[in-house]
A and B are shown apart, each in its own frame.
Chain A
Amino acid sequence: KQEVTQIPAALSVPEGENLVLNCSFTDSAIYNLQWFRQDPGKGLTSLLLIQSSQREQTSGRLNASLDKSSGRSTLYIAASQPGDSATYLCAVLGFINDYKLSFGAGTTVTVRA
């Protein structure tokens, strides 16, 4: 069974600092890994999707890397802003369990003004 872990569970940083969020997964047979953002009481917003053949994806201040062999992905958010405060989740689409998504528990980020 695919296990997805996100450490730390919570993170608080001053505005302007770079954010580094970690995601690890137990089985490297994956189609893709997605990073999402969730605001309180809302659904998820897709930030970046990295296909299994890719090493990284970038969008604006966001950069996500993927290392399948070690089962790790890292989301970097440059020059954090208070508006970046949210819960960030990663999800892995794997071959195990017949092609379904497995989510991490998320990292709750607070950016202090």
Chain B
Amino acid sequence: KAGVTQTPRYLIKTRGQQVTLSCSPISGHRSVSWYQQTPGQGLQFLFEYFSETQRNKGNFPGRFSGRQFSNSRSEMNVSTLELGDSALYLCASSFSDLNSPLHFGNGTRLTVT
């Protein structure tokens, strides 16, 4: 069974640009959640999607947004990039919700210059 796939693996962007990250969940998983990991703040929850609807949201500004498609694949978008957005972005999938084992991808390393 294929795991969670995140693309691209690495990204370098300039301040002010926008970026879109992609996540393909494990087949049959309908919940996809996103996380930001930085050395200073650690792992922080961004949001969770289920059946194309955002179900839960962390404390991030509106520049961070996401969506989920009918095949459960999800994308995350960050607009007007700031230097502080440099981080490892992880997505995780689960069968139903956050109250079940999460399966993480290997992440997208975003560097903002």
Interface residues of A, Cβ cutoff 8 Å to B: 31-32, 34, 36, 41-46, 49, 51, 89, 91, 93, 97-106
Contacts and interface: CB of A to CB of B under 8 A. Distances in A.
A31 B99 contact: yes
Contacts of A43: 4, 6, 90, 92, 104-107
A46 B58 contact: no
B103 A46 contact: yes
Contact of B43 (A49, A93, A99, A103): A103
Given A46-B101, A100-B56, 15 more contacts: A31-B98, A34-B102, A41-B106, A42-B107, A43-B6, A43-B104, A43-B106, A44-B90, A46-B104, A51-B99, A100-B45, A100-B58, A103-B43, A103-B44, A103-B45
B92 to A, nearest CB: 7
Q: Decide if the interface of chain A is mainly helix, strand, loop or mixed.
A: strand
A92 to B, nearest CB: 11
A101 B98 contact: yes
Nearest to A49: B101
Nearest to A102: B45
Contacts of B42: 103-106
A98 B98 CA distance: 12
A34 B35 CA distance: 15
A99 B100 contact: no
Given A44-B92, A103-B43, A103-B44, A98 B105 contact: no
Contacts of B33: 101
Contacts of A91: 43
B15 interface: no
Contacts of B101: 34, 46, 49
B104 A44 contact: yes
Contacts of A99: 56, 98
A75 B7 CA distance: 32
